[in-house]
Structure 1
C-alpha cells in the first residue's frame, strides 16, 4: 500500500459494502502518515455525496484513520468544544488516488463532555440485510463499537487531552 506524503493534500472516499461510492471529501492535509496510520485535517472542505449533492464542512476537523481499526474518528473543533463523529467502517487503504474505506452505517457521536450517542442502528440493520453483510463483519463491527467506546471512556487516542491541540497546531503551521 502506498503512503501519502506528509504535507500533501489527499481526497477521502467512503464506499458502501456493495462497492458504490458513498461520499468524497475533496481535500484533507496529511499531518502524519505511515503504514498503519493517517492523521489529517481539513476546514471548509467540499464534500460530494453519492447522489451528486455537495456541501462544505463548517469547522476545522482532525481526521484519524488506522489500518487495524474498524472505525475512524473525525474531531470537529467548534467554539463550544470538540465534537467527535466516529464512523464504523473498514480499515483504510491508500492507493495514491485517495484514502478509502467502507462505511458500515453505524456512527458514534461524542460530545465535549465525553458523553456519546450510538447512531444509525436502523440504517445498519437495513443495510446488513439488504447488502448481505457477512456475519463475521457484524461481529467485527460490534467488537469495534465496544473498543471505540472504551477509547472514549479512557480518553485514548484522539480523545486524549493533548491530541487535538498537537495536531491542530501542526495543521495551522501548514496554513501560515
Structure 2
C-alpha cells in the first residue's frame, strides 16, 4: 500500500456505521504519516455534508489521527487560542487513496483553557438503536471517549502546549 508523502494533499472522508458518507473534507495537507499517527493540516477547506450542504472552514486546523484510537482531533487556531473539535469514531484507515473513518456521533469540544463539553449524546443513543451498533462497538466508543478525556485532563498528545502551533508552522512551510 502506498501512503502519501508530507506536503501531498489528500481527502478525508467520514462514514456512518451503515457505510453511508457522512462528511468529506476536500483537501488537507499531509504533515506526517507514521506508524503511530497521521497529522494533516488545512485552512479554509471545502467540506461537503451528506445532505448536499457545502461550507468552508474559517480558520487553520491541525488534525491528528492516532493509530488504533477511537477518536481524532481537530485543533483550530483562532485569535483567542486553540479550540479543539474531537470526533469519536473508528480508527482511521488509508483506503482508496483517502483517509477515512466511521463517525460514531459523539464529539467533544475543548476550549483554550482545556475545559470541554461532550456533544451529541442523544444522537449517539438514537443512532445506536437505529443503526444497530453492536455492543463491542459501543464499548470501543465509550473507551475512546474515556481515553480522549484522559488526554485532555493530562494535556498530552495533541493537547500539549504548543503542539498545534508547531504543526501549524510545518503546515505553512508547504504553502
Q: Tell me the secondary structure at the aligned position of residue 38 of structure 1.
A: strand
Give the Cα–Cα distance (whole angstroms) in 2 for the partners of residues 51 and 70 of structure 1.
25
Once the two structures are TM-superposed, the CA of residue 36 in structure 1 deviates from its matched residue by: 3.5
Give the Cα–Cα distance (whole angstroms) in 1 for the partners of residues 146 and 77 of structure 2.
25
Once the two structures are TM-superposed, the CA of residue 166 in structure 1 deviates from its matched residue by: 1.2
Once the two structures are TM-superposed, the CA of residue 41 in structure 1 deviates from its matched residue by: 0.3
In the alignment, which residue of structure 1 is the partner of 2:39?
39
In the alignment, which residue of structure 1 is the partner of 2:158?
158
In the alignment, which residue of structure 1 is the partner of 2:61?
61
In the alignment, which residue of structure 1 is the partner of 2:116?
116
Superposed CA offset, 1:135-165 (max 9, x none): 0111111111111011001111110012112
Count of paired positions = 175
Alignment of 1:106-145 (within 5 A): 106-145=106-145
Give the Cα–Cα distance (whole angstroms) in 1 for the partners of residues 152 and 103 of structure 2.
20
1:91 corresponds to 2:91: yes
Q: Tell me the secondary structure at the aligned position of residue 82 of structure 1.
A: strand
Q: Tell me the secondary structure at the aligned position of residue 19 of structure 2.
A: coil
Once the two structures are TM-superposed, the CA of residue 52 in structure 1 deviates from its matched residue by: 1.3
Q: Tell me the secondary structure at the aligned position of residue 133 of structure 1.
A: coil
- What runs of 5+ residues in structure 2 fail to find an aligned partner? none
1:101 corresponds to 2:101: yes
Q: Tell me the secondary structure at the aligned position of residue 132 of structure 1.
A: coil
Q: Tell me the secondary structure at the aligned position of residue 10 of structure 1.
A: strand
TM-score (structure 1 length as normaliser) = 0.96
RMSD: 1.0
- What runs of 5+ residues in structure 1 fail to find an aligned partner? none
Q: Tell me the secondary structure at the aligned position of residue 174 of structure 2.
A: helix
Once the two structures are TM-superposed, the CA of residue 96 in structure 1 deviates from its matched residue by: 4.6
Q: Tell me the secondary structure at the aligned position of residue 169 of structure 1.
A: helix
TM-score (structure 2 length as normaliser) = 0.97
Give the Cα–Cα distance (whole angstroms) in 1 for the partners of residues 32 and 156 of structure 2.
18
